[in-house]
Amino acid sequence: MKKITVALAGNPNCGKTTLFNNLTGMRHHVGNWPGKTVTIEKKEGRIVYDDTTLEIVDLPGTYSLSGRSLEEEIAVGYLLHEKPDVVVNIADAAHLERNLYVTLQLIELGVPMILVLNMNRYADAEGVVINTGLLSEMLGIPVIRIEAIDETGKDELIKAILARPAPPEKTIRYDHELEEHIGEATKITGSRWSAIQALIHGSAEPKIESIRTHLAGIYGTKPGEIFADQRYGFIAGLLHESVDHMDAGGKNQSERIDRLVTSRWLGFPIFLAVMYLIFQIVFAVGAPVMDLIDEGFGLLGEAASAGLADIAAPDWVTSLVCDGIIGGVGSVVIFLPNIFLLFLLLAILEDSGYLARVAVIMDRVMHKLGLHGKSFIPMILGFGCSVPAIMATRTLETKRERFLTILITPFMSCGARLPVYLLLVGIFFAAEIQGLVMFSLYLLGIFVALITGLLLRKTLFKGESSAFVLEMPPYRLPTIKGVLIHAGEKSWEFLRKAGVIIFPAVLLMWLLASLPFGVEYASADSLIGMAGSTIAPIFAPLGFGFAEAGVAILMGLLAKEVVVGAFGTLYGVGEEGLGDVLMNVFTPLSAYSFMVFILLYMPCLAAMFTIRQETRSWKMTGLAAVGMCVIAWIVSFIVYQGGVLLGFA
């Protein structure tokens, strides 16, 4: 069987990952802001078509192939060293001027390639009419129209790949003066591509540096800007010949919406209103489904207890199954509907293009921290999970900005903390204010992150922020398939955690609560009771100085989902019975203080490992761990003691 290696290359947000998913059947979340597809991970898939296997690699999305950023290094390195049989260059048909810059560089590399024009429906809405035949003739490469989101043109693309296109027939020609010096540099470097790269970025070869100095003198600017100007000039000529612009109102409509949602005075209130609405929906719609799951686990526990009694199972086995496994895991899984809803709604905001506007809105605030709006993008991702959010800081320009953003991102309330909020808010607060209480926790996380960032900027991370340039993607109607896939993947990840992390954790807690054998389950004489009693006094000023809370906080270092499972296991009850028990140990004020501590203290071990991996500094990792715990204690202390002074106890 023949094999063809195919590399997908293009800008972020051009539909590259969507095409990869459709070609391979593999599912990866498709984001909507610059850098979202840049996970610095190698994504591969394969399909078999007749007697040929297509090995498909999704390269990081880049705006250039200059090799300056890590993403560009990976893409260029793969193209130069792995030498794929075909490069499929995906371009956003509505923004060809920007997208064709990478196309020209691929042509200069001399790789066999196909130019794929995607998102044509948006081009049509903006009145952009592209003559693909003429564009193909002028570039010397095949040009195909597709619509990745609904697989239009997929078969034509596969046939074009199977045809194994030849390397480009033409090369990009610069003006006479520049071509002459490219020729001189090529004699030294051995290839036209390496000569152009050396002239742009510099070289240890004295002759190359002499040419660079000469070019800068002739053109009055840096060599990199000379090449960029002439490439964009070439693109302008291409588009003038091959693209017509008809009168259309799509772009104007998008601009009108932007004037409202990114308004200096209305932008932030609109963002707050949208987030508040999300939390209200999560509670209102999720509650009935939660009740059904709760009943199911209750019946399961009763059936298990009865079945074990019928076979005369030892008491410890009954306790393990009913108190440990069903009580612990069930008390977490019950929140699956709410978690699915939250991720579904966030995916709608993300895929619609709105979250990119949030970065613009927050740019004014972030500049006060020496950051810019792009730094808020990883923080938004932190609402889902801190691990990918911390990894997303790789797209920031400077080490100072990356480190500062890494240290404040874990304050954003991740999805793993949600079960704790859902449990305690549902128990202690009236239905009409539950969404507001949840909303206040998320706002508090943002506020503490910003204040911490300001303090760090004044002390450890002094300096000015770099320039903020962010592509504003067009508004798009999210697809039902896309948002369901995203919410489904996140929910499955939550369930997987219930099996991989929470299940062993609750078993460990059950064992510690049962040892030494002969003591009352989870009593002060058990191992876990003694551990909880030892640290409980630390939390007494915060309103939850009892052993079970201390144990839950310790177990939450493994994964925040374990906190609810810890209570369920320690008290040996499911979610419904857990509410009755917690009513006796918490008050509304102390429950809120506990949620604040869970929100702000050290993230899970996976997030801490990621901080170490991204900063390559144990000092920074230790600063994050200790600093967050101290901040969590201080803020919870202020909340609880302040509430007591105001008479809320």
Query: Quick one: which of 186, 639, 130, 628 has its CA closest to 386?
Result: 628
Q: Taking the mean position of all CA atoms in its chain, how far away is CA 115? A: 28
Residue where the block lists tokens 């071990």: 605
Residues that constitute the known binding site for GTP: 10-17, 35-41, 58-61
Closest CA to 573 of 423, 434, 417, 416: 423
Question: If phi over 0 gives left and psi between -120 and 50 gives alpha, with beta otherwise, what is residue 110?
Answer: left
Look at the block and give the residue holding tokens 């010397």. 140
What are the binding residues? Answer: 10-17, 21, 24-25, 35-41, 58-61
Other CB atoms within a 10 A radius of the CB of residue 249 amount to 11
527 in Cβ contact with 576 (< 8 Å): no
> Side by side, which strands form the sheet with 143-145?
43-49, 52-58, 2-10, 86-92, 113-118, 143-145
Q: What is the DSSP letter of 546?
A: S
**Where in 125-255 does DSSP place strands (E)?**
128-130, 143-145, 243-245
* Bind-site residues for Mg(2+): 21, 24-25
| Structure tokens that stand for 373 in this block | 């709006």
Enumerate the β-bridge partners of residue 491: none
291: number of Cβ within 10 Å: 14
* Sequence-ordered list of residues with C-beta below 8 angstroms from that of 190, at least 6 positions apart, any chain: none
Measured between alpha carbons, how far is 487 from 484 in angstroms, rounded to an integer?
Answer: 5
Residue-level length of the chain: 649
Return the DSSP state at 87: E
